[in-house]
């Protein structure tokens, strides 16, 4: 009862004015990006801006399923009418030279973090492995991606 009485009082005093100003989320114009749930599309999501516009970066760590679970990142354009996302194919582009890489189940896109220093982002495939003879060393792999979706370092 106390808080029920308090609210009109605060409104009358104008104390809540700023905090309670109404705004509308325009549901009719909401934009929906869809992807296969079996590929865990949407596991990680980041808002992203580069000189080409605004994006929603979407991690899909089981991309390739059921053949494999390589994973990938999608860039979905926010400022345009398009509702389809670009697969960045980072799973193919991320390479550690001169080692036998096992990428089939690396789950790229499980980690997706913006990097304010580069203006790009960091993504990881925690189950990436290197094969040495009959041994597998599953160290995982992380890559820094530039604002224009190029690999800076892995």
Ligand X SMILES: *[C@@H]1O[C@H](CO)[C@@H](O)[C@H](O)[C@H]1NC(C)=O
Binding stretches for ligand X (CB under 6 A): 64, 67-68, 70, 97-98, 103-104
With a CB cutoff of 8 Å and minimum separation 6, the contacts of 51 are 147, 148
- Chain residue whose CB lies nearest ligand X: 64
Compare residues 50 and 154 and give the one whose CB is closer to ligand X.
154
Compare residues 70 and 111 and give the one whose CB is closer to ligand X.
70
3-state secondary structure of 152: strand
**What would you measure as the largest C-alpha separation in the chain, in angstroms?**
76
User: What is the separation of C-alpha 66 from the centre of its chain, rounded to a whole number of angstroms?
Assistant: 21
Nearest approach, Cβ of residue 74 and ligand X (Å): 15
- Rounded to a whole number of angstroms, the CA Rg of the chain reads 22
In angstroms, rounded to a whole number, what is the distance separating the alpha carbons of residues 43 and 66? 17
Compare residues 61 and 64 and give the one whose CB is closer to ligand X.
64
Nearest approach, Cβ of residue 98 and ligand X (Å): 4
Nearest approach, Cβ of residue 68 and ligand X (Å): 4
Compare residues 55 and 91 and give the one whose CB is closer to ligand X.
91
């Amino acid at each position: 009862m106390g808080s029920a009485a308090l609210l009109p009082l605060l409104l009358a005093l104008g104390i809540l004015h700023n905090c309670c100003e109404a705004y509308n989320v325009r549901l009719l114009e909401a934009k929906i990006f869809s992807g296969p749930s079996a590929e865990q599309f949407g596991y990680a999501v980041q808002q992203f801006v580069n000189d080409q516009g605004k994006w929603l970066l979407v991690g899909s760590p089981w991309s390739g399923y059921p053949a494999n679970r390589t994973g990938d990142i999608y860039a979905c354009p926010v400022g345009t009418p398009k509702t389809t996302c670009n697969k960045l194919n980072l799973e193919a582009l991320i390479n550690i030279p001169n080692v036998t890489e096992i990428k089939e189940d690396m789950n790229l896109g499980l980690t997706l973090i913006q990097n304010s220093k580069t203006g790009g982002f960091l993504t990881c495939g925690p189950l990436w492995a290197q094969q040495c003879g009959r041994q597998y060393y599953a160290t995982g792999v992380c890559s820094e991606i530039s604002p224009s979706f190029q690999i800076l370092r892995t």
